[in-house]
A and B are shown apart, each in its own frame.
Chain A
Amino acid sequence: MVKILFRDKEWELQAGMTVRDAILKVGLDPQAVLAVRDGKLINEATILKNGDTIRLIAVISGG
């Protein structure tokens, strides 16, 4: 399984999908978030592996 974290939310998804698919699966817009694994930015085509923890970071800010 892959753990996806975004703000105070958390999801568990099957391994084997891309970052982009995972973002869509949890209902977010791939344009509006970036994915970080082990503190490193990863691209949207990266295939997620069992045991991965992915933190999604919102890019939209205002103020």
Chain B
Amino acid sequence: MKCRKCGAVAVINMRQHKLALCDEHFLEWIPQQTQRAIRKYRMFGPRDRILVAVSGGKDSLSLWDVLLRLGYQAEGLYIHLGIDSGGYSDSSLEYVERFAAAREGARFRVVDVKAEYGQSVPELARRTHRGRKPCALCGLVKRYIMNRVAYEGGYDAIATGHNLDDEVAVLMQNTLRWQTGYLARQAPVLPSTHPKLARKVKPFVRLYERETAAYAIVRGIEYIYDECPYAVGSTTNFYKELLNQLEGRSPGAKLGFYLSFLEAKRQGAFSQTKEALELNECEKCGQPTTAPGLCAFCRLWER
């Protein structure tokens, strides 16, 4: 199989685009596609300061690499969750440190949940009786810290490594349950709806997970292969497997599902369910919250 651009041996074939590329042209194609998504969805501009949420995995490290290559002011944020199983959090941090050490100008900060707030995420989950699957709580902690760091550091947007497979798996779950509220909010850009709430963007939203992994391999980015021990066997991964079966039979099915969802939304689907939530400021930390009094994050530590 040959590269469509130069005829050299292809390293990847993207059946949904009918496009096979060699390593050199694949390494050009990924930043081009990312830049296209950044412009198309008006994620941010060349002067904006971007906080990239990095986990040590293929998506976030590849995203950080691509944003730096594109010349954006992209700084990393690693949230140490204190997941001990197999030294997962420590090991993930090492990948982030190695990545940054190999790149001039790749600055990042670490927020250690236990050091800063007194308990790791698994400890917090056990104390609040969410020990078996702390994923929802983990999401809450990460969103809170990302937003706080972005606000305090004056960043214009938070970029996450969500890829098309992540988005389509969530879309499928929400569609099967007709969660219209969630469907109304799912988008490549979550705008800021409060002065203390940072914009969230997903520049890899049109790239398949296979492509972000391939980019990391071809680019020589070392990342943590193991997924979070709590994510093993998750519903999201089950939906990803189902969607990959569909993609195998019908190349482009995942991309088509997502793009037609965005087009339906553009034409007004779910617009009635999109309610403007009134945001208050948490009495303790000052971060935006829908509930009056304490925000959900501060309530966790009050129990």
> Which listed residue, A30, A44, A46, A60, touches B209 by the CB 8 Å rule?
A60
**Inter-subunit contact B20/A43 (CB<8 Å):** yes
Contacts A34-B210, A58-B225 supplied; 20 other A-B pairs, CB < 8 Å = A29-B244, A30-B248, A32-B244, A34-B213, A41-B11, A41-B12, A43-B1, A43-B10, A43-B11, A43-B13, A44-B13, A59-B58, A60-B227, A60-B237, A61-B57, A62-B234, A62-B236, A62-B237, A63-B227, A63-B230
- Indicate whether A57 reaches chain B with its CB closer than 8 angstroms: yes
Residues in A with CB closer than 8 Å to B247 are 31
Query: Which of these, A46, A57, A63, contacts B225 with CB under 8 Å?
Result: A57
C-alpha gap A43/B10 in the complex (Å)? 6
Contact A29 B241 (CB under 8 A): yes
Q: A32-B241, A44-B13 are in contact. Are A60 and B165 (CB under 8 A)?
A: yes
B84 to chain A, nearest CB (A): 15
State A34–B214 Cα separation when bound (angstroms).
7
CB A39 to nearest CB in B, in angstroms, measures: 9
CA distance A7 to B248 in the complex (A): 22
- Majority secondary structure of chain B interface residues (helix, strand, loop or mixed): helix
**Using a CB–CB distance below 8 Å, which chain B residues touch chain A?**
1, 9-13, 20, 23, 55, 57-59, 135, 165, 209-210, 212-214, 217-218, 225, 227-228, 230-231, 234, 236-237, 240-241, 244-245, 247-248
A61–B92 Cα gap in the complex (Å)? Answer: 14
A61 and B227 contact, CB distance less than 8 A: yes
Which single member of B1, B165, B228, B248 contacts A63 (CB below 8 Å)?
B228
Q: Given A61-B227, A63-B230, does the pair A34, B245 have CB atoms closer than 8 Å?
A: no
A43 and B210 CA atoms in complex are apart in Å by 12
Nearest CB in chain A: distance from B122 CB, A: 13
Q: Which residue of A lies closest to B224 (CB)?
A: A61
Query: In the assembled complex, which residues on chain B have CB atoms less than 8 Å from the CB atom of A58?
Result: 225
> In the complex, which of the residues B1, B55, B212, B241 contacts A45, with contact meaning CB atoms closer than 8 Å?
B1
A42 beta carbon closer than 8 Å to chain B: yes
- In the bound assembly, the distance between CA atoms of A46 and B245 in angstroms comes to 22
Task: Check if A9 is an interface residue, CB within 8 A of chain B.
Answer: no
Encode contact with B along A16-47: 1 for CB under 8 Å, 0 otherwise.
00000000000001111010100011111110
Residues of A within 8 A of B165 (CB): 60
In the bound complex, CA of A42 to CA of B20 (Å): 11
7 contacts between A and B (CB under 8 A): A41-B12, A41-B218, A43-B12, A43-B13, A61-B227, A61-B231, A63-B230
Inter-chain contact B13/A34, CB cutoff 8 Å: no
Bound Cα distance from A60 to B58, whole angstroms: 10
6 closest Cβ pairs, A-B complex? A63-B228, A63-B231, A62-B231, A31-B244, A59-B213, A45-B1
Residues of A within 8 A of B23 (CB): 40-41
Closest-CB distance, A5 to chain B (whole angstroms): 12
Question: Looking at A42, A44, A62, which has the most chain B CB atoms within 10 Å of its CB?
Answer: A62
Bound together, the chains give a CA A41 to CA B217 distance in angstroms of 7
B251 CB to closest chain A CB, in angstroms?
A: 9
A59 to chain B, nearest CB (A): 4
C-alpha spacing A40/B225, complex, angstroms? 16
- Cα(A46)–Cα(B57), bound, Å: 27
